[in-house]
Structures are given as C-alpha cells and as structure tokens.
C-alpha cells in the first residue's frame, strides 16, 4: 500500500501520484505530531503552543504584557487578531476570547463569520472568491428555508423575515486574509 503524504488517501502499489493532490505517494505516513489538549475547550493543540488558537486560553508559564495596557498581565489571546490582552480588554463569548475590536465577530469551533447575506447566489460568489484565493470556507444556513416557512420562496426576503441569512465562515487564522478578499469584492456587509 502507498499513501498520499498530504491528504492521507490510501492507494494500491501501482499508483505513483495522488489523484487529488498530484504529489508523489509514499510507502509510510509520518508519525503524527504529539498533541496536548486545551483544558478550556478540549481541542487538540501542539505541545509547544503558548495559547489555544481555538479559544484563546493562554498557557505560557511566563507572564506577558497586555497589548493595550503594558503594565497589566495578559490573561488570554483574541482568537481573531491573536494579540495578548488582560482581563479588562477581553470578552469571553461562546467560550472564545475576543478583544474589543473583534467582540462582534461571530466565532464557532475555530471558524469566524466573514460575510453574511440573505442572497444565496451572492453568498456563493463570495465563497468562490475566497476559495479561489486559497481560503477554506464553511457556509452555513444554506439549506432551503421553504421547509421552515410553508409557502415562502427561498429568497432574500424570506431569509430576512425569518432571520436565517447565509453565513460564510473562514478559519479564524485566515480571517484578515479573507477580509481583504471580501472587501475587494463587496465593501458592505462584511462582519468586522
């Protein structure tokens, strides 16, 4: 058996390249990197991590200063900008630390809302632009709301009335890259 070192797909011995990734196959996959678990959110993180990139919990044994208040000790990291902040500067929302500049960004399981709209087609255009730029997306609320609203057509009016806009999530670590792509296409409606 052979394996793709990128996507981990298993192939027969006759194959030379991964059909998806286009890279040469290997006989054995490398051993997975040892992981630690965040005590706060339970997500696997690297052993040498100073903070949890998913919830912002600070693990460092050294004391760091707050980005805005140099005399204050940092207690967490904003999951969007990944800056150190003290208790006065952080807001904990749905288990995630967010600074004052990003406290309105909706975050869920390491993903942040970058764009939302009542128009499914517009959401698909933005999703396509993000993915063309190499940014992973996780669209939500893309199902047909006609099943929720008897007789309503799945359109922006129906989504607005029932408050189910299509939301495009991106990984929190790609938020700023995604923000520049979305602002280039659609300067309004960006979740900043």
Span of 16-20, 22-26, 123-127, 187-191 with lowest mean pLDDT: 187-191
pTM over 0.85? The answer is no
**How many angstroms separate the CA atoms of 99 and 86, rounded?**
9
Measured CA angle at 169 (ends 164, 174), to 5 deg: 160
Q: Largest alpha-carbon pair distance within the chain?
A: 63
Indicate the angle between helix axes 120-132 and 175-185, nearest 10 degrees.
120
Render pLDDT for 49-105 as a digit per residue (tens, 0 to 9): 888 888 999 887 778 899 999 999 999 999 999 999 999 999 999 999 999 999 999
pLDDT given at position 147: 41
154 band by pLDDT with thresholds 50, 70 and 90: low
**How many angstroms separate the CA atoms of 86 and 64, rounded?**
9
**How many angstroms separate the CA atoms of 4 and 12, rounded?**
11
Helix (H, G, I), strand (E, B) or coil at 110: coil
Please, which residues have CB within 8 angstroms of residue 101's CB and are 6 or more apart in sequence?
78, 81
pLDDT given at position 187: 60
Burial of 10 (0-12, 13-18, 19+ CB in 10 A): exposed
163 band by pLDDT with thresholds 50, 70 and 90: low
**Residue 100 tokens, joined:** 């004052």
Render pLDDT for 95-120 as a digit per residue (tens, 0 to 9): 999 999 999 999 988 899 999 887 78
Contact 119, 139 (CB under 8 A): no
pLDDT given at position 143: 63
């Amino acid at each position: 058996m052979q394996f793709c070192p990128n996507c981990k797909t298993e192939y027969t011995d006759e194959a030379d390249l991964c059909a998806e990734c286009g890279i040469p196959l290997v006989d054995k996959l490398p051993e997975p990197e040892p992981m630690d678990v965040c005590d706060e959110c339970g997500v696997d993180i690297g052993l040498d991590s100073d903070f949890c990139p998913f919830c912002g919990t600070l693990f460092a044994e050294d004391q760091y200063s707050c980005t805005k208040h140099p005399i204050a000790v940092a207690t967490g990291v904003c999951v969007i900008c990944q800056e150190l902040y003290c208790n006065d500067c952080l807001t904990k929302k749905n288990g995630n630390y967010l600074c004052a500049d990003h406290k309105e960004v909706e975050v869920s399981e390491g993903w942040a809302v970058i764009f939302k709209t009542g128009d499914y087609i517009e959401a698909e255009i933005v999703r396509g632009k993000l993915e063309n730029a190499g940014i992973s997306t996780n669209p939500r609320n893309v199902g047909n709301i006609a099943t929720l609203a008897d007789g309503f057509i799945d359109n922006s009016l129906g989504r607005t009335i029932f408050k189910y806009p299509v939301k495009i999530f991106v990984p929190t670590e790609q938020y700023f890259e995604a923000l520049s792509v979305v602002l280039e296409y659609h300067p309004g409606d960006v979740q900043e």
